[in-house]
């Protein structure tokens, strides 16, 4: 049993939900976050916040004191911006991960759970679910940094004996996702519709993705924590393909049915089809996604409404 967890990036979207889930399991939780995207108010009551950076060895070493499991969530999460800002992407996502690994030997840490991404995969020819053996040929710098980090984590685990699981998250949605032009189509569309603006679909909108609720992502991390299987990589998704056009239709129905979408040229580096085969994580960890998109999309809309400031502006990041 683990007693004290470190969540890097724990003031962010996924990390804060994970911190809550760990607290509910009775663990002591420490959060390491530089608050560049995360918010202090996202850190749940009962968790300790250490303001610091995963690229700083001193910050990481200080946050590891007394910790026996690490959930490495901190990252620059943007496929689109990683193409132009590839150096910054690699500095945080790859070198930040290597810095965490470098600091682990000699501590009490026995397991690392690494937040990877569907972006490690090659383009799929159809929206059929892909499993963990599908070709890993990333088409974006973000995917490259995530795949390289996975490989370093597994190599590190083999040589040090510190166990590691890598979880390949598919399109995660839910409350607390920071509004950004680059990340989270559901959050982006929601804010545009609340502003009375048309959602912009890049391409024909028939690209299909696997949208997984952030609470299910947190549950998958708990399942990985409890696992006694060594060094495994797991998809975390639902296995259900949903098109961007369907997302726009759902949100227009919730917010502004009279606003029509508009289309723009598709972006390079983004997968057209990305749907998870989750049979491995179901079989080996007993994890099954418990939430359907239609059941939770209203929760995202209400959160976005409630977090907006007077005058229609969304809250700061």
Q: In the numeric block, which tokens belong to residue 186?
A: 């559901």
Which residue out of 114, 121, 134, 142 is catalytically annotated?
Answer: 142
Q: Exposure of 117 by Cβ count < 10 A (0-12 exposed, 13-18 middle, 19+ buried)?
A: buried
Q: What is the DSSP string of 33-81?
A: E--SSS-GGGSPTTPEEEE--TT-HHHHHHHTTT-SEEEE------HHH
SS3 273: strand
CB count in 10 Å sphere of residue 186: 24
Nearest to 8 by CA among 149, 170, 158: 149
121 a catalytic residue: no
Q: CA-CA distances (angstroms) from residue 30 to 19, 23, 52, 246, 253? A: 8, 10, 12, 38, 40
Active-site annotation, residues = 142
């Amino acid at each position: 049993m683990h007693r004290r967890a470190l969540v890097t990036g724990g003031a962010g979207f996924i990390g804060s939900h994970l911190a809550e889930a760990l607290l509910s399991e009775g663990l002591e939780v420490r959060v390491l976050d530089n608050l560049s995207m995360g918010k202090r108010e996202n850190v749940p009551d009962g968790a300790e916040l250490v303001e610091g950076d995963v690229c700083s060895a001193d910050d990481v070493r200080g946050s590891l004191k007394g910790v026996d499991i690490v959930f490495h969530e901190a990252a620059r999460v943007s496929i689109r911006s990683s193409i132009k800002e590839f150096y910054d992407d690699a500095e945080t996502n790859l070198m930040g991960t290597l810095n965490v690994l470098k600091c682990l030997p000699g501590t009490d840490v026995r397991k690392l759970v690494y937040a990877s991404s569907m972006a490690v995969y090659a383009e799929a020819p159809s929206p059929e679910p892909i499993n963990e053996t599908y070709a890993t040929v990333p088409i974006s710098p973000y995917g490259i940094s995530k795949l390289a980090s996975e490989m370093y984590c597994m190599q590190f685990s083999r040589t040090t004996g510190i166990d590691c699981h890598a979880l390949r998250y598919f399109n995660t949605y839910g409350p607390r996702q920071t509004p950004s032009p680059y990340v989270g189509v559901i959050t982006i569309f929601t804010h545009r519709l609340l502003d009375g603006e048309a959602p912009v679909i890049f391409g024909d909108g028939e690209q299909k993705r696997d949208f997984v609720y952030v609470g299910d992502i947190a549950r998958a991390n708990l399942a990985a924590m409890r696992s006694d299987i060594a060094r495994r990589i797991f998809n975390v998704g639902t296995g259900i393909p949903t098109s961007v056009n369907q997302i726009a239709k759902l949100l227009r129905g919730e917010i502004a049915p009279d606003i029509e979408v508009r289309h723009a040229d598709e972006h390079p580096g983004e997968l057209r089809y990305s749907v998870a085969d989750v049979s491995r994580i179901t079989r080996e960890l007993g994890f099954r996604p418990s939430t359907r998109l239609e059941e939770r999309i209203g929760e995202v809309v209400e959160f976005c409404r409630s977090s907006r400031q007077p005058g229609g502006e969304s809250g700061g990041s």
